Structure 1
């Protein structure tokens, strides 16, 4: 594991030297592919060092982080061309990538907590430093205080657990804790990070104000930190979980339905995609809290699928924004007349967002629906409503932005660049090819 950390540390001096845009890009993809080659079918921990290592769950999350960060650099060409402190931007990205890799590869609960909180700082710098509107300061404060509000109780509960059971290693997290207070203190930070309905208001705000790189990393990886943490810690809250998890599953199911309705009245493209993330992650949270094999497997599949699909949609929204200087769905109209090839990508990603075959979203939803209906047949009501409205807002996003009359202020317009089509292809291919080898994702337990 350490050799990949050292390879990423080598990127730090490269960010301080004025190198070409593509050279940095090649280095990121090289590290991603080198890490991908270390895949093993062993279900136990691999590449163990003193406090680092990974199993198949960690491996998929680290690979997703490396892939999304590589694509973030590919999407941020405008920062390079306009020289908006590009070297500093590269440095922040490397720190963010390092913190995410360390979070997912930690074998100790306290080290995991440390890097989990540390990854908040570079994300905050991305939003405040390279955001578009003055409201980005408010979005940064929302992001910071929603997460920090629950992080102190978690730290205290980690210390309490260590004092009581004398170990924080994930391998020894097997003692059943029967305290509901400890359950809430330990897991509330993950509920906020996912985000669960009622504590989700920071997410649309952060997405709308963040640059494209910030939106990609938030949707692609940062939301998955909550799901990953819950998967690791549910092992010690089995007794409490069987008693109280129905409350949080109910909130997520009903909240997912309400958020799907809210998507249908959004006028901001990025806000619509952000609210759809809340609905999808509510499904993931419900699957994890069923404490079943299918729930955990479906959550992993859905997290990877949502990371790629949502990140691709934010890239499409940014491609339109760079040309029209607006995220309003009323001004982004008739784009099929101007960029017919890009319209195909809008259609493909909208289909993935509504879980149409052959995307990985479909596999994730099928497994999660299976786990939730097995848990309680009453969840069928809200699952069917969420699936229907998911298709409704995805079609609304596609048809409203691609069809209709052009706005009158469009005097000049450039079609898509090769870089943009490559960016979208690298999101779409894994999303639709991985379903052919889905046993990698389902048999991780």
Structure 2
């Protein structure tokens, strides 16, 4: 059983285990020790989002890594995909991103990337877990690592993202509202779109340490919707706190989720002969309408467990180059080793320019079937093991048999049971979800 690592690194409430300075320093020691391989000079890249706790945790990580003999390169507030890219391009042994993604400021997390820019394997995380409980092997005084902050990291990332588009593609004439969630991309994302010629109305770009994801960003798009309509913009783009995912708003203020974005990019790349693997990889949460749409295009939908790492694993094993999640994680492996909201947005904007269509038309690739998702919070125990909950789930599966899907899972990052059902009959689907949620509530009470 894992004590620290969850589905996406280590995450928790700041100043409570595991998100304390002490644990962060131990993580630095353990991860640094694990990646001290070979006789070259070892290096780790550390980035962060804009949370107040980032200062504390970054310094603790620096102390841990340098104490075991690893040099540290600090790049400051940067998107998660930027840290992955820099880890690979700088020939570093390890990359670390301090972020709790879309969570409120009081949470934080530690995500790690290997020298290839991909998130660590289960085996690497398991080994680091073991080292966290072992006495560290500290470096000799002359071998203690050095820490250096580089100032051009943001420019390197901006250049790399822009390279995903042909030189001939410009965004002139497009008015874009961009919500950076007061997070890691508050500076880089507006620059990318502006340099490509767009008229950018930027919101969520004044981080103060505690306003990250606060009534802004991909999980709270109301402000984006209002601003798009009020400003007469062609499209709105909302990133999350570490900018590895996005949500889009069309010119009428309607929200477009990751399923429609995957449908657009997948079908477009297939027509251009760029799509690999014969389809798209998504999770069990993606809408049945996406699956039906891709089948109509002669493509297939590969489903995985929830989590972008599972999507990426299937992409790599199956030779796919487009994958993602309904929540907005988009992985375009021709250009990045992890989800990148800014990069995915560029592919959408390029289609907007080349087709001349309005966003509301371009981003309505299919009619989603009715889908309902509800969360039930619990304080402890294993509600899904209760007989009453199992019985409610069995009844729901029987009701939807052949006409829909049911997905129930425990969140890997929060104490939540997530209940999702979809099918052609909205009333029936909602009743199934409500019945199962009621059973879970009774079980946890």
Specify the TM-score bucket, using the shorter chain as the normaliser.
Answer: under 0.3
More helix by share: 1
Highest Rg: 1 or 2?
A: 2
Q: TM-score, normalised by structure 2?
A: 0.28
